[in-house]
Amino acid sequence: MNRLPWAPLNASVFVIILGGVILAVFFSGISIFAAFPLIFLVFGVWMITEAFVIPPANAYAPPRTMVAGWGALIGGLGVLWLVLYFAAQLLPIVFALILVVAGIAGVGYSFRRSSPSPPKTSTS
């Protein structure tokens, strides 16, 4: 199975998202100031999806958890920016919810990494 390199794939998807959101701004009632957070949000969701669907290209590719983490960071910033544009009074609540979700993800990651490994068999 051929493995896709993540960098050109992500750059291409970002350009597609950028063009799609710009077209949506021109043909709908979306404000240009709401378009930039949407770009970040959609690209962050793409990176999280990519981390779990597409395998790394080679041994030197970044691990899936790192790609998912960056996607969550970019998507979270997009959500905060979008909430700041539409309803700034809800920003502290959304920020607190993002922190809770990040904490739950950190606890889940630490439990996943701390699970006992299968016993190693002796080769002698």
65-108 pLDDT per residue, tens: 888 989 999 999 999 999 999 898 999 999 999 999 989 988 98
Q: Note whether residue 96 is domain-resident.
A: yes
Inter-CA distances, 117 with 3, 112, 122, Å: 28, 11, 15
Q: Scanning the structure block, which residue is given the tokens 């006992």?
A: 116
Q: Note whether residue 122 is domain-resident.
A: no
Quote the number of domains for the chain.
1
Q: Note whether residue 119 is domain-resident.
A: no
Range of the domain at 88: 6-113
Please give the model's pTM, rounded to 2 decimal places.
Answer: 0.80
| Cα 85 to Cα 53: distance, rounded to the nearest angstrom | 32
Q: Note whether residue 109 is domain-resident.
A: yes
